[in-house]
Amino acid sequence: MKATGFLLGSTLLLAACSQAINYTYSRKNFTSPTFEADLSACKLHKSTITAYQKIPREQQPPLDDAAVRDCMKAKGYKIETEAR
C-alpha cells in the first residue's frame, strides 16, 4: 500500500513539475504555405542510413523533434522557445 501511494505521489509530482515547450519559427519573407512545405519536408527527411534501408515508410520511425528543428534551422528559420 505504501509503495502504491509513493508511486502515485511521485507520478503526480513529476507531472506537475514538467513543462511543455512551444517552438516558434520565423524567417525573412515568411509565408504559411512555404513554412508548411518546409516543415513537411523536414518531417519526411531521413538520414542517409535510413534512406538505403528497404523499410516501408509507414514502418520507419519518425524523426525526433530535435532533428526536425535542425532541418528547419538549415532552411534558414529562426527558432524561439517558450514554456507553457
The HSE-up count of residue 35 (CA atoms within 13 Å, CB side) is: 13
* β-strand partners of 26: 78
10-residue mean pLDDT profile of the chain (84 residues): values are 48 54 89 93 68 62 80 94 76
Q: What is the pLDDT of residue 3?
A: 53
Whether 3 is covered by a domain: the verdict is no
What span, in angstroms and rounded, lies between the C-alpha atoms of 77 and 35? Answer: 9
Whether 45 is covered by a domain: the verdict is yes
Q: List, in sequence order, every beta strand (DSSP E) within 1-84.
A: 21-26, 78-83
Domain that holds residue 51: 20-83
- Collapsed DSSP state (helix, strand, coil) of residue 25: strand
Whether 6 is covered by a domain: the verdict is no
pTM over the 0.75 mark: no
How many Cβ atoms are within 10 Å of 23's Cβ, its own excluded?
Answer: 13
The count of structural domains within the chain is 1
Q: What is the pLDDT of residue 56?
A: 66
Whether 14 is covered by a domain: the verdict is no
Whether 50 is covered by a domain: the verdict is yes
